[in-house]
């Protein structure tokens, strides 16, 4: 188990966020984001519950772009909304196919949001970086 007080740098400890977010941010600070070479091996050393806490976000999976808006990632939320609208328009001409593709799109958007929300919020909060790319930091590993 990760001991929160031992692993959190002072600049993260001083942020006005929950301990859960501090733990996530400390992990990203030490091992980098999902695309970095240290990320996956370090993640695999954690217990399953800790892995899920670092690598995925329950609320982002179910609420997608709305969750991104709530945590201040409005640029990514707008791009995700635009993608959803464009895909809906493209698939509306084939109702039978469109319904199945819509469900698949919903799952894909949910997974992308769940897998990118934590690192995106870290970038915004700690590094003051913002991006329009909703897939930045996405990794299936």
pLDDT given for residue 79 in this prediction: 92
- For the chain, the 3-state helix, strand and coil shares in percent, each to the nearest 5, are 70, 0, 30
- Report the distance separating Cα 115 and Cα 136, nearest Å: 10
Predicted local distance difference test score (pLDDT) of residue 15:
84
One DSSP character per residue, 37-82 reads: TTHHHHHHTS-HHHHHHHH--HHHHHHHHHHHHHTT-HHHHHHHHH
pTM listed for this prediction: 0.84
Work out the average pLDDT over 33-49: 89
Q: Where are the domains of the chain?
A: 4-125
| Least confident stretch, 3-12, 33-42, 97-106 | 3-12
Q: In which band, very low, low, confident or very high, does the pLDDT at 4 lie, cut at 50, 70 and 90?
A: very low
Could you give the CA distance from residue 98 to residue 116 in angstroms, rounded to a whole number? 26
Identify the helix (H) or strand (E) that includes residue 19.
Answer: helix 19-31
Distance CA 7, CA 92 (A): 50
**Which has more pLDDT, 9 or 50?**
50
Convert the pLDDT of each residue in 93-128 to its tens digit.
Answer: 777 666 777 788 889 888 988 999 999 999 999 888
| pLDDT 10s digits, 46-102 | 999 999 999 999 999 999 999 999 999 999 999 989 988 888 787 777 776 667 777
Higher pLDDT, 13 or 7: 13
């Amino acid at each position: 188990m990760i001991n929160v007080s031992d692993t959190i740098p002072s600049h993260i400890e001083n942020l006005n966020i929950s301990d859960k977010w501090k733990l996530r941010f400390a992990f990203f600070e030490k091992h980098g984001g999902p695309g970095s070479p240290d990320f996956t091996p370090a993640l695999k050393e954690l217990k399953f519950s800790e892995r899920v806490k670092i690598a995925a976000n329950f609320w982002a999976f179910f609420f997608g772009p709305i969750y991104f808006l709530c945590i201040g990632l409005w640029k990514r939320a707008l791009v995700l909304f635009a993608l959803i609208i464009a895909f809906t328009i493209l698939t509306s001409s084939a109702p039978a196919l469109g319904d199945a593709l819509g469900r698949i799109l919903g799952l894909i958007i949910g997974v992308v949001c769940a897998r990118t929300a934590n690192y995106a919020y870290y970038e915004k909060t700690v590094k003051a970086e913002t991006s329009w790319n909703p897939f930045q930091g996405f990794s299936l590993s």
